[in-house]
């Protein structure tokens, strides 16, 4: 190969030298106005272009050198005073050259002068030139020669309004000339691949690509002809060009030229000739990258549609969508071997088009998706990653456009398309959908839509068949499930009846999620349901006695079921929290038995499932906190529950935990507010008990480690004392507080005390508070006056 390149350099150098040598003598002859010599040396110079050894790239270099010389020659020919021969005679004279290539270059050059002289109609000369050029059948020679012809004739076409305008058919002549040159050039170009022995196909295609603009230039010239209006374009230009494109049966040419047409002619023309243009597509070779071509077209049309408001009716009028859709169908049908990615890309383009041009026509969108489903169902399994990417693009497009998943949910084919994705991609797509909802704060307000939505994102909702669970990335999984949990809150309707339906639907789907998902989804569902309960409570007055489908009772049943499902996980701590939440809601709705039931469930869980001591501590504090706020219970139930709670508190493992739980229980007997019980006796009992436990803890610490622990527990209890003292409990007296402070001081001064800055500070600020209350004066001040620090 290296040798080949070197040789080529050598040949090129020789060619250039040959041109320079002859150009030198030609210049001399030009200077002395010796026509005979001029013709001789110019022909010899042009003979260098007869080489077949150069690649197109190198040949072009050679051609450009000759081209520059030909311009000087043309100047000479133009000036009759220099050579004394009329242009008509000159036109014959140059045809005496024996070699065809130099002869035709000279003929074109004189032809240019001939047209300018207007001694013959431009059309006659052009017709003669384009006809004579047939003699050059060598692809590269011919392409460059005809390119030269195109070049010199560009400004001399008998276009309407041009100074070379001819008779009535003048425009036809101009168009005919360019079309013919184009056709012949394309034929030569296509033929390149069959000629040249021992050439590698790849190299050949590269070489051909280098020449494509020579061919395409003709189309550009056509588009520049003033007189080519829509009608001419429709009747003559396009059919002729397409005929050539289809008939040449060459994929490279077909692809390039189709693209050329689309780029070169105005969008308005494309719109009006859509049928013709698209009609050619299925006739192209199966290997043509038609998807890119059509995508380009649709891109241009949609840009065009947005360029001005007047365009849109035009697009509607020509039924662009129907035509495009039809054409794509046919292309896919015709190109049996087209990979899935190609077909889907086409649909993506069509979808983009319709979204931009007809944003209001959801049926179009659905139609596109439907067509895609049809195509996909013929493919056993979508494995090509690029194809999958395209499907994702297809599905994402409507979401981005409408910023509203609700719209997508009305598309019947949307889920069908999704069905063709593999599990991983389904999840990705589901995430896209959820993120869209979140971002746009879209509310999904009917159970039907919810149903569809969950169908779409089912990849996230439950384990798919054949999915390998082990491969799941824990973090991704959490993200996904958190998104689903968030999504559940977006499913909302003010109408309780519909809301209940939604909840039922969500429940149906989430319950199938399996133990790994439930901890994420159940809380959302529960809170969603609780919100409904509270809402119903709020409007109870309006719907008394009627046969209401959405009753709190039903919802409570549902809630129980949902939370029970967590036992399969198992996740007792979570279940317990949820029960407590439910109990609180029931409390708000004033249904004692339900609240009681939920509490019972919570206690059962506590007893049976929560064994871990830390979890127990947390749970018991939750229970106490919730129970404290309950006001629905009658004395009996409340007693039972508080009794239980206190009991559990005292049975915690660590003394410190016991102590804290017990003094927390004191609040169960003192509830602020009008109806709240204020049982000072039992409060005091709790506190004393806590104090005892704190003492015991201190002693245990002494025994075990030889030093007593910090006095923190005592200070905490002191705070409770102060709280209840302030609240006016009879049993918690100033003396009691004072006693406790002394106790703490003693403890701190004992030998075994461990100094602890945190508890010291705590104590100090507590004391400071008491001092502050004393100084504040008033009722409270007087009360605190009894404490001596």
Distance CA 489, CA 500 (A): 13
Beta carbon of residue 27, minimum distance to other proteins (angstroms, whole number): 25
Q: Is 725 exposed, middle or buried (0-12, 13-18, 19+ CB in 10 A)?
A: buried
Beta carbon of residue 40, minimum distance to other proteins (angstroms, whole number): 12
- Enter the tokens of residue 289: 């990258």
Closer CB to other proteins, 107 or 257, in the complex: 107
DSSP structure class, residue 442: P
Closer CB to other proteins, 193 or 601, in the complex: 193
Closer CB to other proteins, 139 or 216, in the complex: 139
Closer CB to other proteins, 39 or 365, in the complex: 39
Beta carbon of residue 97, minimum distance to other proteins (angstroms, whole number): 9
Task: Give the residue carrying structure tokens 């609780």.
Answer: 530
Measuring CA to CA, how many Å separate 124 from each of 112, 136, 145, 212, 226? 12, 20, 19, 28, 20
User: What is the three-class DSSP state of 491?
Assistant: strand
Closer CB to other proteins, 86 or 137, in the complex: 137
Closer CB to other proteins, 51 or 626, in the complex: 51
Contact partners, residue 52, CB within 8 Å, separation at least 6? 138, 140, 141
Closer CB to other proteins, 129 or 624, in the complex: 129
Closer CB to other proteins, 103 or 291, in the complex: 103
Closest CA to 130 of 145, 110, 116, 115: 145
Beta carbon of residue 54, minimum distance to other proteins (angstroms, whole number): 14
Beta carbon of residue 341, minimum distance to other proteins (angstroms, whole number): 36
Beta carbon of residue 188, minimum distance to other proteins (angstroms, whole number): 9
Distance CA 635, CA 640 (A): 9
Beta carbon of residue 132, minimum distance to other proteins (angstroms, whole number): 6
Task: Give the residue carrying structure tokens 């030889």.
Answer: 706
Beta carbon of residue 102, minimum distance to other proteins (angstroms, whole number): 9
Is residue 315 a contact partner of residue 356, using CB atoms and an 8 Å limit?
no
Measuring CA to CA, how many Å separate 292 from each of 261, 298, 355? 13, 10, 18
Measuring CA to CA, how many Å separate 611 from each of 528, 617, 653, 722? 30, 10, 11, 34
Measuring CA to CA, how many Å separate 189 from each of 140, 214, 215? 8, 9, 8
Contact partners, residue 95, CB within 8 Å, separation at least 6? 103, 107
Closer CB to other proteins, 103 or 655, in the complex: 103
Q: How many residues does the chain have?
A: 789
Closer CB to other proteins, 147 or 666, in the complex: 147
Beta carbon of residue 189, minimum distance to other proteins (angstroms, whole number): 13
Distance of CA 626 to the CA centre of its chain: 45
Beta carbon of residue 152, minimum distance to other proteins (angstroms, whole number): 19
Q: Is the Cα torsion angle 549, 550, 551, 556 positive or negative in sign?
A: positive
Closer CB to other proteins, 144 or 454, in the complex: 144
Measuring CA to CA, how many Å separate 522 from each of 473, 519, 561, 686? 21, 6, 11, 36
Beta carbon of residue 147, minimum distance to other proteins (angstroms, whole number): 15
**Could you give phi then psi for residue 787, rounded to 5 degrees?**
-90, 130
Distance CA 97, CA 548 (A): 105
User: What is the three-class DSSP state of 273?
Assistant: coil
Closer CB to other proteins, 96 or 614, in the complex: 96
Residue-by-residue DSSP string for 620-649: HHHHHHHHHH-----HHHHHHHHHHHHHHH
Closer CB to other proteins, 34 or 403, in the complex: 34
Footprint of other proteins on this chain (CB under 8 A)? 50, 92, 95-96, 98-101, 103, 131-132, 134-139, 141-142, 187, 191, 195
Q: Which residues pair with 708 in a beta bridge?
A: 753
Beta carbon of residue 135, minimum distance to other proteins (angstroms, whole number): 5
Beta carbon of residue 177, minimum distance to other proteins (angstroms, whole number): 16
DSSP structure class, residue 465: T
């Amino acid at each position: 190969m290296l040798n080949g390149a070197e040789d080529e350099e050598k040949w090129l150098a020789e060619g250039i030298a040959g041109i320079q040598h002859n150009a030198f003598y030609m210049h001399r002859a030009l200077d002395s106005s010796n026509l005979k010599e001029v013709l001789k040396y110019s022909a010899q110079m042009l003979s260098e272009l007869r080489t077949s050894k150069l690649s197109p790239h190198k040949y072009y270099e050679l051609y450009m050198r000759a081209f520059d010389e030909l311009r000087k020659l043309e100047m000479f020919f133009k000036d009759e005073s220099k050579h004394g021969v009329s242009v008509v005679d000159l036109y014959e004279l140059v045809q005496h050259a024996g070699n065809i290539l130099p002869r035709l270059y000279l003929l074109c050059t004189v032809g240019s002068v001939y047209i300018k002289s207007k001694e013959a109609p431009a059309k006659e000369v052009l017709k003669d030139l384009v006809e004579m050029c047939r003699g050059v059948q060598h692809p590269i020679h011919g392409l460059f020669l005809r390119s030269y012809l195109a070049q010199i004739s560009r400004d001399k076409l008998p276009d309407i309004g041009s100074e070379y305008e001819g008779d009535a058919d003048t425009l036809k002549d101009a168009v005919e000339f360019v079309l013919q040159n184009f056709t012949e050039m394309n034929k030569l170009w296509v033929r390149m691949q069959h000629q040249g022995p021992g050439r590698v196909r790849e190299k050949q295609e590269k070489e051909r690509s280098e020449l494509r603009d020579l061919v395409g230039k003709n189309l550009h010239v056509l588009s520049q002809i003033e007189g080519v209006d829509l009608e001419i374009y429709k009747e003559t230009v396009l059919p002729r060009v397409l005929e050539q494109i289809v008939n040449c049966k060459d994929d490279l040419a077909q692809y390039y030229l189709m693209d050329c047409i689309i780029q070169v002619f105005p969008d308005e023309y494309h719109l009006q000739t859509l049928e013709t243009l698209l009609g050619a597509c299925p006739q192209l070779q199966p290997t043509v990258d038609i998807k890119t071509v059509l995508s380009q077209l649709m891109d241009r049309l949609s840009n065009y549609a947005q360029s001005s408001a007047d365009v849109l009716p035009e697009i509607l009028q020509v039924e662009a969508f129907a035509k495009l859709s039809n054409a794509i169908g046919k292309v896919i049908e015709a190109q049996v071997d087209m990979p899935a990615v190609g077909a889907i890309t086409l649909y993506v383009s069509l979808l983009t088009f319709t979204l931009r041009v007809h944003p209001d026509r959801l049926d179009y969108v659905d139609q596109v998706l439907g067509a895609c489903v049809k195509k996909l169902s013929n493919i056993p399994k979508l494995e090509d990653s690029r194809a999958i990417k395209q499907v994702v693009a297809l599905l994402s497009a409507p979401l981005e456009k409408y910023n509203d998943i609700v719209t997508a949910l009305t598309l019947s084919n949307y889920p069908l398309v999704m069905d063709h994705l593999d599990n991983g991609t389904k999840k990705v797509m589901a995430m896209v959908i959820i993120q869209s909802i979140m971002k746009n704060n879209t509310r999904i307000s009917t159970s039907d839509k919810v149903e569809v939505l969950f169908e779409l994102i089912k990849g996230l909702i439950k384990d798919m068949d054949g999915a390998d669970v082990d491969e799941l990335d824990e973090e991704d999984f959490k993200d996904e499930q958190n998104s689903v949990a968030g999504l559940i809150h977006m499913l909302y309707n003010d109408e309780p009846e519909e809301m209940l339906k939604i909840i039922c639907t969500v429940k149906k789907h989430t319950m199938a999620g399996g133990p790994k998902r439930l901890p994420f989804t159940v809380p959302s569902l529960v809170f969603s349901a609780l919100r409904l309960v509270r809402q119903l409570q709020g409007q109870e007055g309006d719907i008394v006695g009627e046969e209401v489908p959405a009753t709190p009772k039903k919802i409570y049943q549902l809630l129980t079921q949902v939370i029970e499902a967590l036992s399969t996980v198992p996740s007792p701590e979570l279940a317990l929290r949820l029960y407590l939440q439910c109990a609180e809601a029931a409390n708000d709705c004033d249904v004692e038995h339900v609240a009681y039931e939920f509490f019972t469930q919570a206690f059962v869980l506590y007893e049976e499932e929560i064994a871990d001591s830390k979890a127990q501590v947390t749970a018991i504090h939750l229970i106490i906190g919730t129970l404290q706020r309950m006001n629905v219970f009658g004395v009996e139930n409340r007693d039972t529950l508080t009794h239980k709670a206190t009991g559990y508190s005292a049975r915690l493992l660590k003394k410190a935990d016991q102590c804290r739980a017990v003094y927390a229980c004191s609040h169960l007997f003192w509830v602020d507010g009008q109806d709240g019980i204020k049982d000072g006796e039992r409060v005091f009992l709790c506190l004393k008990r806590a104090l005892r436990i704190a003492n015991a803890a201190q002693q245990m610490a002494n025994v075990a480690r030889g030093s007593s622990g910090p006095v923190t527990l005592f200070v905490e209890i002191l705070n409770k004392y102060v709280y209840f003292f302030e609240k006016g409990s009879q049993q918690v007296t100033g003396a009691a507080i004072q006693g406790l402070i002394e106790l703490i001081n003693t403890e701190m001064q004992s030998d075994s005390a461990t100094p602890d800055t945190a508890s010291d500070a705590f104590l100090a600020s507590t004391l400071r508070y008491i001092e502050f209350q004393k100084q504040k004066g008033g009722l409270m001040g007087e009360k605190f006056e009894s404490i001596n620090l």
